[in-house]
C-alpha cells in the first residue's frame, strides 16, 4: 500500500483518521510519562473528584475547562465580528473608516496580550471614574472576555484585509460587467471568496486564542491550567502534580487538533464546491 493509497483512504474515512491521530497523541504522552516520570500513578491522581475539579472548577464559581471554553467561545465570536469590520474598514479607501482602523490594529498588535488583560481589568474602572465620574465595576471574567476580544480583533482584521487584497481585480471587473453595484460586488462576490481563503489563518488564530486563555490567571480566574496548580497544593486533591499537567496537555492537544481538522474539512468543502 503506497502513500497515496493511504492518504485517499483517510480522506474517505475521516473518523478513522481522527481515532488514529488520537491514539498517536495518547501513545506520545504515555512515552513522555514513562521516560520523564515513571513513578506517576494516573489511577490515583485522576479520580472522578479531581477530573471534575479540572473540568468545571469549584462548586461556588466557574472554572477549569468550562471557564476556558466560555471565555474562548465568546471571544471568538465577538472578535470575528469586530475584526471583520475592522479589516473591511482598513481595506476601504474611505479615510474616515480606514485611519481609525489602522490606529486600532497597529496599537493592539504592538501590545502583549498579558498587558491588555491587565490594563482592561485595572484601568477601565480608573478611566471610567476619571472621565465619567462614575464607579464602574468590571468583573474579572468580563475583563478577560473584553481583553481577548480587543486583542484578537486586531489580528483577525489583518487576516481579513489580507484575504480581501488577495482577490484579483478581474473579479471586480467581471461583477461590473454583470451590472452589479459596488455593494453587491463586495458582499456577493469578493467577501465570500476572501473568507474561503482566510479559513486556515482564522482558525489558526482561534487555536492560539484557546491556548492563551491560560493567561487569565493573572487577574484571579482559574482556567484549566490554573486548576492543576490549585489541585497540586490542595490537601483534598492529592497526587495532582505531573499527572494533572499530562491530563491538561492531552485536553489542549485534543481540542486544538479538532479545531485544525475542522478547518481543513471546511476548506476542502469550499474548494470543491460542497456545502
Give the list of residues 6+ apart from residue 132 with CB closer than 8 angstroms, or none: none
Burial class (CB in 10 A: 0-12, 13-18, 19+), 206: buried
Question: What is the value of pTM for the model shown?
Answer: 0.80
CB 164 within 8 A of CB 190: yes
Distance CA(171)–CA(182), nearest Å, equals 12
- The per-residue pLDDT for 117 is 92
Distance CA(117)–CA(96), nearest Å, equals 29
Distance CA(76)–CA(258), nearest Å, equals 16
Phi, psi of 223 (to 5 degrees): -85, -165
Residue 233, all three cell numbers: 497544593
CB 182 within 8 A of CB 221: no
Distance CA(185)–CA(171), nearest Å, equals 9
pLDDT tens, N- to C-terminus, the chain (275 residues): 556 676 666 666 666 777 777 777 777 767 776 776 676 666 666 777 777 777 787 766 778 888 999 999 999 999 999 999 999 999 988 899 999 999 999 999 999 999 999 888 888 777 767 776 666 677 889 999 999 999 999 999 999 999 999 888 888 788 888 888 888 888 888 888 888 888 888 888 898 899 899 899 888 888 888 887 776 665 444 445 677 777 788 888 888 888 877 777 777 776 665 44
- The per-residue pLDDT for 27 is 79
Buried b / exposed e over 93-110, threshold 16 CB at 10 Å, is eeeebeeebeebbeebee
Distance CA(235)–CA(4), nearest Å, equals 54
User: Look-up: residue for cell 475542522?
Assistant: 262
- The per-residue pLDDT for 90 is 93
Cross-strand partners of 64: 223
CB 58 within 8 A of CB 221: no
Alpha-carbon torsion 260, 266, 269, 272, what sign?
A: negative
Residue 223 DSSP SS3: strand
Cross-strand partners of 223: 64
Residue 269, CB half-sphere, CA atoms under 13 Å: how many?
Answer: 9
Residue 78, all three cell numbers: 465577538
Give the list of residues 6+ apart from residue 115 with CB closer than 8 angstroms, or none: none
Residue 241 DSSP SS3: coil
- The per-residue pLDDT for 275 is 46
Amino acid at each position: 500500500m503506497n502513500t497515496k493509497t493511504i492518504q485517499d483512504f483517510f480522506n474517505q474515512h475521516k473518523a478513522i483518521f481522527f481515532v488514529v491521530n488520537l491514539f498517536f497523541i495518547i501513545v506520545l504522552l504515555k512515552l513522555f510519562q514513562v521516560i520523564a516520570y515513571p513513578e506517576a500513578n494516573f489511577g490515583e491522581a485522576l479520580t472522578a473528584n479531581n477530573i471534575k475539579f479540572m473540568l468545571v472548577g469549584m462548586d461556588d464559581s466557574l472554572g477549569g475547562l468550562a471557564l476556558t471554553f466560555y471565555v474562548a467561545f465568546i471571544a471568538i465570536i465577538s472578535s470575528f465580528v469586530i475584526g471583520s469590520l475592522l479589516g473591511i474598514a482598513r481595506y476601504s479607501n474611505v479615510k474616515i473608516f480606514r485611519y481609525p482602523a489602522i490606529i486600532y490594529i497597529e496599537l493592539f498588535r504592538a501590545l502583549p496580550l498579558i498587558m491588555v488583560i491587565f490594563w482592561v481589568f485595572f484601568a477601565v474602572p480608573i478611566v471610567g471614574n476619571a472621565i465619567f465620574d462614575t464607579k464602574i465595576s468590571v468583573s474579572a471574567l468580563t475583563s478577560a472576555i473584553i481583553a481577548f476580544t480587543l486583542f484578537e480583533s486586531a489580528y483577525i482584521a489583518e487576516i481579513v484585509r489580507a484575504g480581501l487584497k488577495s482577490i484579483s481585480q478581474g473579479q471586480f471587473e467581471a461583477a461590473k460587467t454583470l451590472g452589479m453595484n459596488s455593494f453587491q460586488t463586495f458582499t456577493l462576490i469578493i467577501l465570500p471568496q476572501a473568507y474561503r481563503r482566510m479559513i486556515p489563518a482564522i482558525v489558526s488564530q482561534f487555536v492560539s486564542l484557546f491556548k492563551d486563555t491560560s493567561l487569565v490567571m493573572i487577574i484571579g480566574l482559574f482556567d484549566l491550567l490554573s486548576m492543576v496548580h490549585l489541585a497540586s497544593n490542595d490537601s483534598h486533591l492529592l497526587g495532582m502534580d505531573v499527572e494533572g499537567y499530562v491530563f491538561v496537555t492531552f485536553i489542549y492537544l485534543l481540542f486544538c487538533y479538532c479545531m485544525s481538522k475542522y478547518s481543513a474539512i471546511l476548506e476542502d468543502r469550499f474548494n470543491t464546491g460542497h456545502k
